[in-house]
Homo-oligomer: A and B are copies of this chain.
Amino acid sequence: MIQYCNHCAATVVFTIPPGDSLARHVCPACGHIQYENPRLVVGCVAEWEGRILLCRRAIEPRLGYWTLPAGFMENGETTAQAAARETLEEAGARIAMDAPFAMISIAHINQVHLFYRGRMSSPDFAAGEESLEVSLCRPEDIPWTDLAFRSVSLCLEYYLADRASGRYGFHEAALLPA
């Protein structure tokens, strides 16, 4: 919870600034406003010879569950660069990103999850610090009941359906609290 100005250390006030419509953390001393906005989580569904790259989480939340490689987008990068970086960090795999594939708003946790489709440049992979293990998983072996997040399940459902139809689209969805 924001209590102090990060520019001058004065105690902030939670109030609607002039010309705005929502309450913000405003500094009465220096005027600085600390905005809070949704964060982008970016990842990918990457294939090698028909198998899909999955990571088993070594960190909370959902430690021990399986997920697509993904993580918070950083300043100074594009969405495609974020997807590639996260996949390299978590799965030790280099990916040629094809196209954005799914965008899932999760308003109650202030996140937007964005997944690309991609192809592994080689069959090489290795668990990064945030992964217990990494696997190239056949579609019929996807551990549906051990997936970490609903956005990951939804993205994989879209992916397998599109793959079966032979035509990949761009999918948008919103998840409500479980």
Contact = CB atoms under 8 A, between A and B. Distances in A.
Interface in A15-58: 19, 21-22, 25, 34-40
A9 interface: yes
A172 interface: yes
Interface in A61-88: 72-81
Interface residues of A, number: 44
Contact of A107 (B5, B39, B76, B174): B76
B78 A107 contact: yes
Given A38-B73, A100-B103, 5 more contacts: A21-B89, A78-B105, A79-B103, A81-B105, A100-B170
Q: 4 smallest A-B Cβ distances: which pairs? A: A78-B105, A170-B170, A4-B9, A75-B110
